Structure 1
């Protein structure tokens, strides 16, 4: 194997690993952000207590995937890291501020001696701001940071799509973790959210084809369009499965279906963008570190990655089952 092919292999491996870490973050932190957003729709403090209790043991660990993602991007693709962070300074700062709001709100609401409403609203608003910020980051990345009215509209749609998708994950998580009226209302919210998420995804897909610098070129490459069609069919089946499992009163099925919907959609997005890491501006090969750095990092992630996955799986197993309201 030539040194050039070794470099290419490492570049592609790290593109895939970063994509996997991003997917794990979106799914895990996505549902607790969704739960936070849905607290804004609840007027009863007891309902909000139950919702926050359902994510109380896992929400902070979910965000470690974003930290790992940032570190991996900085080490593996430093030019992309510099370009993305400089062009997305404002939404990234808002994202960090929203995480601070969420963390502070959860801690202070536990110490509140009277009404927790104010801190609950801070938690919900922080969750909403985090989702909107991530949607803006996605939209701007897909358009290659090119300004313009059409691209601004595209970014707005991606923000709505991310918020809707997180609400879908949050609602299906509550179906899985709660009982009674909370579970029933979460089922209704899941049905609404899955429709709005799919509609937003279709608009974003069409917009990527028209607005992204690499959309039409990549889709016309040999074999790519057929693979995207296969993923679209799988995503459609996941959409149907969410509706079916909600209708059949399934507890785990809705969240599983929503996760599959995200997985297939994310895979299609990654395939559409490759080999660009910043569409139209920076390819994976242009942004990558040298092979020695990528190899060293590969050994490091080989140790850390199983630990992170194992810890996540252990906490979900340990805190499995329905949550029960704590009586004060």
Structure 2
């Protein structure tokens, strides 16, 4: 075991957890973002029922990613959390309002309009907070003596706002494509109409973030454009073009599942691009994964638990998605 670099293993585990959260919770946050565009009644009820069986389980991966960062890379956690306190507070409040609204809109029909607003607003706030956090980390965090040395609002910049809007648009695309797959009738037609402009907007946002990132730091530029690495990194935008072309083709041909899978593919490629830009730093240009890592013995101890817990989460997730694999109506799945 000594020959195995557990720090890299734990970086992969946390990266997988974050990506799993983005993939799984992204579409139900996206449905919340789009919620005001649905007609009151059948369309909104269908949209809520489409995520009812899975939305809370999806957020398991957020706990896994955050808890894993604290346990495996405590120094990074101690630096990044103070740097993004307002964003983390906003995200958690958004998720709380969203969760409460999800339950109460069925049990308190007299105030359903209020809960619908809470559901949509919580989704927008959570998505923006996550995207702005990503931008704040990419643009760099001031670190002195292994501690955060910046101010309360250092995270706020044009670039971080750009990434926030980009993530919210991407989540909305995932939500629309999920509804194309899982609903039928007027709700599906409405979601399909939304998917086309959202697909264009997502690609534009992805291009804008990708174009701006290399100018944040020379190291980003070097990783993407210097030879011989550019031979490999050039494959990422090429795959984005192929995934986008397949997405628009499948949407035009009336496919139901393929648009969602291609939208997921765009997110996965974006995550690959993020890894290319950041690795091996966990706090860009300041702290590497090895600088931030917990002691070897702690990593071994936690790995035993992770090897038990992660397969259980995956099995539960797969089972729940399989059970609720059909189309959804206004009263549930059929």
Give me the TM-score of the superposition, normalised by structure 1: 0.93
Q: Does 1:184 align with 2:189?
A: yes
Moved more, 145-154 or 18-27: 145-154
Aligned equivalents of 2:41, 2:228: Cα separation in 1 = 53
The structural deviation recorded for 1:45 is: 2.9
Matches for 1:162-181 after TM superposition, within 5 Å: 162-181=167-186
What corresponds to 1:57 in structure 2? 53
Whether contact under 8 Å (2:224, 2:277) holds in the other structure is yes
Matches for 1:33-182 after TM superposition, within 5 Å: 33-145=29-141, 152-182=157-187
Aligned equivalents of 1:63, 1:108: Cα separation in 2 = 19
Aligned equivalents of 2:230, 2:18: Cα separation in 1 = 23
Whether contact under 8 Å (2:43, 2:186) holds in the other structure is no
Aligned equivalents of 1:72, 1:212: Cα separation in 2 = 28
Aligned equivalents of 2:125, 2:94: Cα separation in 1 = 6
What corresponds to 1:271 in structure 2? 276
Moved more, 219-228 or 273-282: 219-228
Q: Return the match for 2:22 from 20, 26, 35.
A: 26
The structural deviation recorded for 1:297 is: 1.4
Whether contact under 8 Å (1:213, 1:280) holds in the other structure is no
The structural deviation recorded for 1:78 is: 0.5
Aligned equivalents of 2:64, 2:227: Cα separation in 1 = 34
The structural deviation recorded for 1:56 is: 0.5
SS of 1:216's equivalent?
A: helix
Unaligned runs of 5+ residues in structure 2 are 143-149
What corresponds to 2:311 in structure 1? 306
Q: Return the match for 1:229 from 228, 234, 256.
A: 234
Aligned equivalents of 2:154, 2:303: Cα separation in 1 = 41
The structural deviation recorded for 1:198 is: 1.2
Aligned equivalents of 1:265, 1:167: Cα separation in 2 = 16
Whether contact under 8 Å (1:45, 1:117) holds in the other structure is no
Q: Return the match for 1:243 from 230, 243, 248.
A: 248
Give me the TM-score of the superposition, normalised by structure 2: 0.92
Whether contact under 8 Å (2:83, 2:154) holds in the other structure is no
Whether contact under 8 Å (2:223, 2:277) holds in the other structure is yes
Moved more, 314-323 or 144-153: 144-153
What corresponds to 1:324 in structure 2? 329
Aligned equivalents of 2:155, 2:124: Cα separation in 1 = 24
Inter-CA distance 175–213: structure 2 relative to 1 (3 Å threshold)? same
Inter-CA distance 65–272: structure 2 relative to 1 (3 Å threshold)? same
Quote the RMSD (CA, aligned, Å): 2.0
Whether contact under 8 Å (1:214, 1:273) holds in the other structure is no
The structural deviation recorded for 1:221 is: 5.8
